[in-house]
A and B are shown apart, each in its own frame.
Chain A
């Protein structure tokens, strides 16, 4: 495999947008190409992520239209990827694999999503389309419900009073909102307190509104190239050190909801390819769709032992300035979660962190960063490790 590097990265502001999926993606894509000292004619393939465009906008087959908006050459194939919330991460991983394999030298990858305009009942239904349709979606399963089940099980398995676990979970939201307050691109830029979380309305017991990420609109995109080509074009290429992806079927196939097997396997693959371990990582953008999800992710990736990450935010170890900075962008919780774009925004944050471009939320001395994205009710996890 050839070494692969990230060149220009870009994302729109996340939040509520009055632009189409294609308009948002064009904005991010053109900025990423321009920051790479390239022109659209130089892009050899587009790896395009989107989940709900067919449902939300009536727009299926969006990849070739994104290709046209960006003015890419006819010979550069545009392909849509869909892996629920892990969509863009999976698109980027496959872009990196094909550049690494020597099929392409320079490609564009990323994603776009509109979710804010649907309203909560419809958005909840479309998200639940990523669960198994015959036996899960037909029972009225919801994603907050799935992670709420994991929270109940975590409290029981490790003998923690639910009220105590909930306080620690609330601290995760407080941290990510604080980080988000330092990110001009974040959906939410308002710091909150533990009481904000614990006084918010119940969504799926024990998860309250502020345990949950928002429905957001946004897009993000990045250029990947063979490493030597990247060194010629940009001052600070960031290298892909390792990737991993694993699959695990639906919720009814899981026995222990505190152990996300696909993540344990995907992160093992990524660490193995990178030849490093969790202790070598300084900054992580991980899938905090719910507060409990950040805790589960930290354990599955090996940053904490099983049953011990629930205190990670309360102890401030995962804050800016802590020993492992987790979600300096604000995470899905505060930066926002336009599902098809999320993975590309996570990679964008890690790349900018490793380049020292994050201003107030800069993680000092970051040399290795990791991206973690989960799709569906534990069915897909994709990890990417980046280094300077």
Chain B
């Protein structure tokens, strides 16, 4: 009898609180552990996805490869939160933000060292892998 296949729950290591342990693109978490923030790109049409997707809606197929989120994006906007959902209170205050890389956008927090008064809409930012105080993995924005 074949051994029961173990569930791939690597995504449980992602985020302050992970709500969803599984995904077809779980290698994303291994890359993050190596310090790389990765998206997926369709090998057929070149469409880039971040967060990574396993399938391309343009080609109706799943012929994907990984690419690293590198270089500069522009800060779309940001907000520093004084209230958090239950489970996130220990992280307060933290600043959520959206960065536009042109072909895709990234939603994350500002690096804890970066104060909201240090940023402005349109500013150039980079995305870096990060480890949270509770040991979980995420990615954050720093000044490019």
Contact = CB atoms under 8 A, between A and B. Distances in A.
A132 to B, nearest CB: 8
Given A134-B20, A149-B97, A255-B76, A139 B107 contact: yes
A156 B20 CA distance: 35
Interface string B14-28: 111111100100000
Given A121-B85, A205-B116, A145 B79 contact: yes
Interface of B: 11, 14-20, 23, 50-51, 76-89, 91, 94, 96-98, 100, 105-109, 116, 120-122, 138
Contact of A124 (B17, B18, B50, B85): B85
A359 B106 CA distance: 49
B96 A140 contact: yes
A141 B80 contact: no
B83 A149 contact: no
A204 B14 contact: no
B121 A124 contact: no
A257 B77 contact: yes
Nearest to B87: A125
Contacts of B86: 121-122, 124-125
A139 B83 contact: no
Interface residues of A, number: 41
B121 A204 contact: no
Given A134-B20, A138-B15, A257-B98, A144 B83 contact: yes
Interface of A: 120-122, 124-125, 128, 133-142, 144-146, 148-150, 152-153, 156-157, 201-207, 250-257
8 contacts: A121-B86, A121-B89, A134-B19, A144-B79, A156-B122, A204-B79, A252-B98, A255-B100
Given A120-B83, A148-B79, A201-B82, 7 more contacts: A124-B86, A133-B20, A134-B11, A137-B17, A149-B97, A202-B82, A206-B79
Contacts of A144: 79, 81, 83
A153 B77 contact: yes
A140 B81 CA distance: 9
Contact of B51 (A202, A252, A254): A252
Nearest to A251: B107
A195 B93 CA distance: 25
Contacts of A146: 79
Contacts of A204: 79-83
Contacts of B15: 134-135, 137-139
B35 to A, nearest CB: 18
